[in-house]
Structure 1
Amino acid sequence: MQRPYSSKLSNFADSLDELLRKRFFLISTLLVALNLSGCILVISRVPYTEVDWVAYMEEVAGVVEYGELDYKQLRGGTGPLVYPAGFVYFFSLLYKLTDHGNNIFLAQYIFAVFHSVTLALVLCIYYKCHTHVSPNGKPPFPLYIVGFLFLSRRIVSLFVLRLFNDGVQAMIMYIAVLLFMRNRWTMGCLIYSFSVSIKMNALLYAPGLAVLLCQARGFGGFASRVIAICLGLQITLGLPFLFHAPTSYLSRAFELTREFLYRWSVNGAFLSEDLFLDKKLAVSLLSIHLFVLILFGHYRWTANEDGGIPSLIIPQRFDRKSWLQFLFKDEHRKLRPFHVAAVLFSSNFIGIVFARTLHYQFYAWYAHTIPFLVWGGPYPWVVKTAIIFAIEIVFNIFPPSSYAAILLNLCHVSILISLWREARANRTTIYEASDRAKVK
């Protein structure tokens, strides 16, 4: 028998969800406007904390003021420039807008706008997933979970009090996600590649994107977009640096072996420093990461009736005509918005779970996707809410704590298990009804 207070809470949640469905645009606009006002209030009341902004400005000043194109000569107060060319162009614009980076207040106001734009984009993602209901007629999650997006103290801090580039990368990435959800694969890949050029953590989305591209456009469409658009944009943006000092640019901008400081590790604080820095740990985490991606790719993101991952990378027949068609034909199949978002967000999250280190600013990589990832799982709503708030609390604890790190990893593993326990994708959940017949 349902208890009276439980029944009242359920009725209230249903009423709130119905109100949001009917007035989502109006309510979202008001919430984003209130968020922007709140950010401005925070800027006026809370002191700015210098972390990386001055270093960003010093790094791009070498290009803007002195025309230096050798990446090994571009440095800031925190070390060498380690971001791709898109970062240089984007922050060069901010450099000019903020009087060589000296007008901190203006920079904070700009980042307040970035934060509000990011929220608006994420709200659109959630709403599009909610309105494109699953084949069983039920939305994948209640709309009221968007309320969690406005409760993160740490995210506001990362945007308007710290001015990290992680927020910029996330904002651009969500534009790409929306384009992918609209089956705008060419433009989406262009924006996605630009997101990678701001900061390489966007590559965590790449495995999921590869699966989606193969499902929507076939292997030929996937290959052409990766080579011509994603790789092409990286080369185009990097041309000035590649012509001048190619080795310097490639080794700095795309350095995959960079060491991170133990003292800033939010998720690794429960380890000893020796173990944290051990190369064997890095190799082990990378191996597990790849293994879990393969499991999700084959058993969750692809349909059993299609043959899983092998069907995406191997033609059904091995004759010459089949191979040529498989390698070069650009298919045209529309994917369901929720499937697109779920695969992209889970791909990114899997990378975060097995990251050797997460600094405070890395929270911006996935904070807005946590309610989405958590609420589709089998846990009671109380547990789901506790997981969301526990992760937020951990990222607000300074300095990093071993107990907080253990809690964070437990939350991550709990979400990963809930994602695995969700039903496997099938043709009905992957493709729009008009395109299911096109799948061979």
Structure 2
Amino acid sequence: MPPHVFKRLAASLAALGAALNQLLYKHFFPAAILLVLANALLCAFVIAKVPYTEIDWVAYMDEVSGVINDNEFDYIKLRGGTGPLVYPAGFVYIYSLLYYLTDRGRDLLTAQTIFAMLHCLNLCFVLFIYRKSYRDASTIHPFPLWIVVFLVLSRRVMSLFVLRLFNDAVQMLLMHAAICLFISNRWSLGCLVYSLSVSIKMNALLFAPGLAVLLCQARGTGGAIRRILGICFTTQVILGAPFLLHAPKSYVARAFELTREFMYKWSVNGALLKETIFLDKRLAMLLLLLHLTVLILFGHFRWTAERSKGLLEFFHLSQASVKDSILRIATHVESRDLNTSHVAGVLFTSNFIGIAFARTLHYQFYLWYAHALPMLVCRGDFMWIRKLALLVTIEAVFNIYPPEATAAVSLHVAHLGILISLWFDRRATDASIFKDGDNRDSLKSSYRTDHGDKTT
């Protein structure tokens, strides 16, 4: 293509994109309704025309039936066709409800219909996140609004919701609901819903490092500690109480097992390795070290303002004594509203870093970040053709079965590209972190109670 033709085409596409963006900005609500309706119709079509695939649904039903029918609360004795029960108590409660609603799991049409509704509700939450992040951007908009179209185009996401019925769908629905609360500066209620998400499946903990930074920025270290211990931890204890009272060691060992090994044959990102290397514990330790290192780098140099001391800002170190420093950390409470785009960006990036360095990614794990990918890709400074290529590549890799080495390499390259683009994105500033009128310099934030927290 001659250069002048390419430039003319690029200019035309840019003009079209700008016009579409302006149209969506003015009429986002009806456009969102149309997207949700289109998604609902697609769900109905897929349920009617595409055969259901049994993978874990029967195993889920077997696992919760032990609690329902046998009154068994020892996690060691709760098993399904694919192995022992390895999810926290929230999973048991949700799938026990589904057990009753679907005639012990035998009414698949009802189960698929429920998951189709969950799919549409999840889309509503995600659309709210995108719209609010775009509207409340402190400086330039971090992405064009028309990328929300990509949220309904994933074949794999549709399959995971209505044809596989994985618990990842329920977990991410709650996670997106929690993010909706966080971007609305409803931190306490958001922590409650976030903890419910963790109680379905532990991968929600990948959001925890970013959430900890945001809590410290919004409510101070003392306010963050209160919510982490008083809400997140307490919720887990309450939900797990029936199992903790009966067999505490079994529950903690099974539901929160961090060393569990996954099957090599299902690993989308590990297919480029030999199985012996994939199962080597040294690889797991290396990936964990890289994960923590990159998290610290992003936390210190990207998620905190340049004029601050980075993560050290939260520790309020005192020259007086160690005791005084600890006291300052535990009692430092603030009440500040954060910008939506900052909150969503930090949470999605924190989760993505964990995924990029995950030892294994199974097909259903795509749900962990599929809805965040358009926003993450657009935050970088790549040309649009490269951004689209990243989205298409990742979607294509998760649609290849069985896992292939070349596809795994493509996935790692795409992840690395996104990670690099996020690193070279603008560093946070006070203006991009805090909402107007909530600048750090105007805050009084020492030893005081949290009476001013308007978010409960």
Q: Which position in structure 2 is the counterpart of 1:269?
A: 271
Q: Which position in structure 1 is the counterpart of 2:80?
A: 76
CA distance in 2 between counterparts of 1:258 and 1:289 reads: 18
Cα distance, 1:328 vs structure 2: 1.9
Equivalent residue for 1:365, pick from 368, 382, 387: 368
CA distance in 2 between counterparts of 1:301 and 1:239 reads: 36
Percent identity, aligned pairs only? 56
Cα distance, 1:321 vs structure 2: 6.5
Deviates more, 1:3-12 or 1:275-284: 3-12
Q: Which position in structure 2 is the counterpart of 1:426?
A: 429
Cα distance, 1:313 vs structure 2: 2.3
Q: Which position in structure 1 is the counterpart of 2:203?
A: 201
Long gaps (5+) in structure 2: 446-456
Q: Which position in structure 1 is the counterpart of 2:141?
A: 139
Cα distance, 1:264 vs structure 2: 0.4
Contact 1:134–1:140, Cα closer than 8 Å, also in 2:
no
Cα distance, 1:426 vs structure 2: 1.2
Q: Which position in structure 2 is the counterpart of 1:377?
A: 380
CA distance in 2 between counterparts of 1:279 and 1:325 reads: 39
CA distance in 2 between counterparts of 1:439 and 1:356 reads: 44
Amino acid at match of 2:60: Y
Equivalent residue for 1:300, pick from 278, 289, 302: 302
Equivalent residue for 1:41, pick from 42, 45, 50: 45
CA distance in 2 between counterparts of 1:318 and 1:89 reads: 49
Cα distance, 1:324 vs structure 2: 3.3
Contact 1:181–1:335, Cα closer than 8 Å, also in 2:
yes
SS in structure 2 opposite 1:260? coil
Cα distance, 1:7 vs structure 2: 1.9
Q: Which position in structure 2 is the counterpart of 1:178?
A: 180
Contact 2:316–2:325, Cα closer than 8 Å, also in 1:
no
CA distance in 2 between counterparts of 1:4 and 1:306 reads: 44
Equivalent residue for 2:247, pick from 245, 248, 256: 245
Amino acid at match of 2:49: R
CA distance in 2 between counterparts of 1:243 and 1:63 reads: 14
Amino acid at match of 2:245: F
Q: Which position in structure 2 is the counterpart of 1:217?
A: 219
Amino acid at match of 1:4: R
SS in structure 2 opposite 1:50? coil
Cα distance, 1:8 vs structure 2: 1.6
CA distance in 1 between counterparts of 2:34 and 2:133 reads: 21
Long gaps (5+) in structure 1: none
SS in structure 2 opposite 1:423? coil
- Scaled by the length of structure 1, the TM-score of the pair is 0.97
Matched, 1:61 2:56: no
- Once the two structures are superposed, what CA deviation does each residue of 1:103-138 show, in whole Å capped at 9, x if it has no partner? 001000000011111111111000001001223xx2
Amino acid at match of 1:189: C
- Once the two structures are superposed, what CA deviation does each residue of 1:348-391 show, in whole Å capped at 9, x if it has no partner? 00000000000000000000000100001110000000100100
Cα distance, 1:283 vs structure 2: 0.3
Matched, 1:109 2:125: no
Q: What RMSD over aligned residues (CA atoms) do the two structures have, in Å?
A: 1.3
Contact 2:334–2:444, Cα closer than 8 Å, also in 1:
no
- Once the two structures are superposed, what CA deviation does each residue of 1:177-222 show, in whole Å capped at 9, x if it has no partner? 0101011110000000000000000000000000000111111001
Equivalent residue for 1:5, pick from 3, 6, 9: 9
Cα distance, 1:317 vs structure 2: 5.5
CA distance in 1 between counterparts of 2:415 and 2:236 reads: 32
CA distance in 2 between counterparts of 1:13 and 1:267 reads: 33
Cα distance, 1:323 vs structure 2: 5.1
Q: Which position in structure 1 is the counterpart of 2:412?
A: 409
Contact 1:292–1:350, Cα closer than 8 Å, also in 2:
yes
Q: Which position in structure 1 is the counterpart of 2:345?
A: 342
Amino acid at match of 1:75: R
Contact 2:137–2:340, Cα closer than 8 Å, also in 1:
no
CA distance in 2 between counterparts of 1:262 and 1:432 reads: 46
Contact 2:348–2:372, Cα closer than 8 Å, also in 1:
yes
CA distance in 1 between counterparts of 2:111 and 2:320 reads: 57
Amino acid at match of 1:335: L
Q: Which position in structure 2 is the counterpart of 1:312?
A: 314
After the TM superposition, list the runs of 4 or more consecutive aligned residues in structure 1 that deviate by more than 4 angstroms.
Answer: 319-323
Contact 1:350–1:416, Cα closer than 8 Å, also in 2:
yes
Q: Which position in structure 2 is the counterpart of 1:96?
A: 100
- Scaled by the length of structure 2, the TM-score of the pair is 0.94
Given the superposition, is the C-alpha separation of residues 247 and 322 from structure 1 closer, same or farther in structure 2, using an over 3 Å criterion? closer
Cα distance, 1:335 vs structure 2: 0.6
CA distance in 2 between counterparts of 1:289 and 1:365 reads: 17
Amino acid at match of 1:84: P
Equivalent residue for 1:438, pick from 436, 440, 443: 443
Cα distance, 1:139 vs structure 2: 1.3
Given the superposition, is the C-alpha separation of residues 384 and 313 from structure 1 closer, same or farther in structure 2, using an over 3 Å criterion? same
Cα distance, 1:325 vs structure 2: 4.4
Contact 2:272–2:409, Cα closer than 8 Å, also in 1:
yes
CA distance in 1 between counterparts of 2:21 and 2:270 reads: 38
Matched, 1:190 2:186: no
CA distance in 1 between counterparts of 2:157 and 2:319 reads: 50
SS in structure 2 opposite 1:304? coil
CA distance in 2 between counterparts of 1:96 and 1:357 reads: 33
Equivalent residue for 1:129, pick from 130, 133, 149: 133
- Once the two structures are superposed, what CA deviation does each residue of 1:301-334 show, in whole Å capped at 9, x if it has no partner? 0112221001112345646777534412431011
Q: Which position in structure 2 is the counterpart of 1:24?
A: 28
CA distance in 1 between counterparts of 2:7 and 2:57 reads: 53
CA distance in 1 between counterparts of 2:419 and 2:308 reads: 24
Q: Which position in structure 2 is the counterpart of 1:389?
A: 392
CA distance in 2 between counterparts of 1:189 and 1:111 reads: 24
Q: Which position in structure 1 is the counterpart of 2:290?
A: 288
